[in-house]
Amino acid sequence: MEGPGPIGGGGRPLVLRDTPVPEPGPGELLLRVRACGVCRTDLHVTEGDLPVRRPGVTPGHEVVGEVVAIGGEAAEASGDAAEASGDAAGAGGEAAGVGEAVGAAAGGFAVGDRAGAAWLRSTDGTCTYCRRGTENLCPGSRYTGWDFDGGYAEYLTVPAAFAHRLPCGYTDAELAPLLCAGIIGYRALKRAELPEGGKLGIYGFGGSAHLAAQVALARGATLYVMTRGDRSRELARSLGAAYVGGPADPPPEPLDAAILFAPAGNLVLPALAALDRGGTLAVAGIYLSDIPEMDYERYLFQERQLRSVTSNTREDAREFLNFAGTRHLSVTTHPYPLDAADTALADLKAGRFDGAAVLIP
């Protein structure tokens, strides 16, 4: 990204460049990118809705890759292990010990493994939030494709401690949206506090929403979808939505919980108005346009709640990816070549596809 600016209509803030393959540092993995999802957060980074944190950053944080190198201390330990394993039988214990150190430093990953890199790239691990299990709120947190170069590329690095094991039974393109759209949708579902068998409203039905909807349906929820675009509405119906309407249409009955995926603050009020007493609206996006002035009695009284969603914890990611491994999700994807990343973002902005776009290097 040379500089933030509008995508589409002649605007091209992304530039395709040849750059050196990055070197993994201590405790980092070098991944050869096999697929990278196109997330709305990438659009916010590229267009400047989010402030520039690293000039010239490469976007992308839904990365499926192959481990091709392990950096720093882990790589040195790997060489030590190989040398020790060739020594006399009496050195076997030393080799095993070094091998264990390799696995720990590399997060248990080995060259040739498939691994995922997601939005949350690192935390300080020492602050109050990290210590109490809410590392997503860490003031020192850093992010793939915003603070560090991301997956709109052929290679990237990721700290092994923040790389993800990926479930079997999916293609690389299908896995990519799970690494942010899926994880954030899952976090939003938790924040919405949907009761068992409850009525869930979803506002906006793109890459994240269509995955969160399947988790909710698998848990016995009744689903009501309010969204724009004929293709998105048809996808919602095909997945089992009981009702599909326009972005601000009132659902046919009060909702126990709702999630706003669209970055449109003007939808907060109709979503709150659709809640039953004690219901919760979770706002899933990292960016939201301004919310209109709110009448307290109409929208919040009777213990309705409005909650934000901020990134995710690694535990959220593990829970969701484990769920995806035990119950196969239908992942709707649209492939784009790497050099068409700006086209994919423009199509996302215009709502030209359902599901998720994926870059294939």
**Per the domain annotation, does 214 fall within a domain?**
yes
pLDDT at 101: 44
Cβ(176)–Cβ(36) under 8 Å? yes
Q: Are residues 76 and 129 in the same domain?
A: yes
Q: Are residues 128 and 41 in the same domain?
A: yes
CATH of residue 89's domain is 3.90.180.10
**Per the domain annotation, does 269 fall within a domain?**
yes
Q: Are residues 85 and 197 in the same domain?
A: no
> Count H helices, E strands: the chain?
12, 14
DSSP state of 107: T
Pairing between strand 120-122 and 28-38? unpaired
Q: Are residues 53 and 125 in the same domain?
A: yes
Pairing between strand 63-70 and 255-260? unpaired
Q: Which residues of the chain have pLDDT under 70?
A: 73-105
**Per the domain annotation, does 49 fall within a domain?**
yes
Nearest CA-CA partner of 129 in 116, 138, 119: 138
**Per the domain annotation, does 1 fall within a domain?**
no
CA distance linking residue 346 with residue 352, whole number of Å: 9
pLDDT at 104: 54
**Per the domain annotation, does 250 fall within a domain?**
yes
CATH of residue 209's domain is 3.40.50.720
**Per the domain annotation, does 320 fall within a domain?**
no
Q: Are residues 161 and 187 in the same domain?
A: no
User: pTM above 0.85?
Assistant: yes
Rg (CA), the chain: 22
CA distance linking residue 53 with residue 168, whole number of Å: 35
pLDDT at 90: 43
**Per the domain annotation, does 293 fall within a domain?**
yes
Cβ(284)–Cβ(260) under 8 Å? yes
Residue 308: which residues within 8 A CB-CB, separation 6 or more? 191, 282, 283
Q: Are residues 214 and 157 in the same domain?
A: no
Q: Are residues 228 and 261 in the same domain?
A: yes
**Per the domain annotation, does 126 fall within a domain?**
yes
Q: Are residues 113 and 189 in the same domain?
A: no
pLDDT tens for 83-132 read 433 443 344 444 344 344 445 557 799 999 999 999 999 999 999 999 99
CA distance linking residue 28 with residue 49, whole number of Å: 30
CA distance linking residue 15 with residue 155, whole number of Å: 16
Residue 256 phi/psi, 5° resolution? -80, -30
Residue type, 55: P
Instruction: Indicate the number of domains in the chain.
Output: 2
Give the dihedral sign, CA 275/226/334/154. negative
Cβ(275)–Cβ(258) under 8 Å? yes
Structure tokens at 280: 């919760």
Q: Are residues 43 and 83 in the same domain?
A: yes
**Nearest-5° Cα angle at 341, 336 to 346:** 100
Structure tokens at 207: 């890459």
Q: Are residues 146 and 249 in the same domain?
A: no
Q: Are residues 250 and 130 in the same domain?
A: no
pLDDT tens for 145-196 read 999 999 999 999 999 999 999 999 999 999 999 999 999 999 999 999 999 9
Locate all alpha helices (DSSP H) within 197-256, ordered by sequence: 207-218, 230-239
pLDDT at 103: 52
Q: Are residues 144 and 209 in the same domain?
A: no
Range of the domain at 145: 28-170+331-360
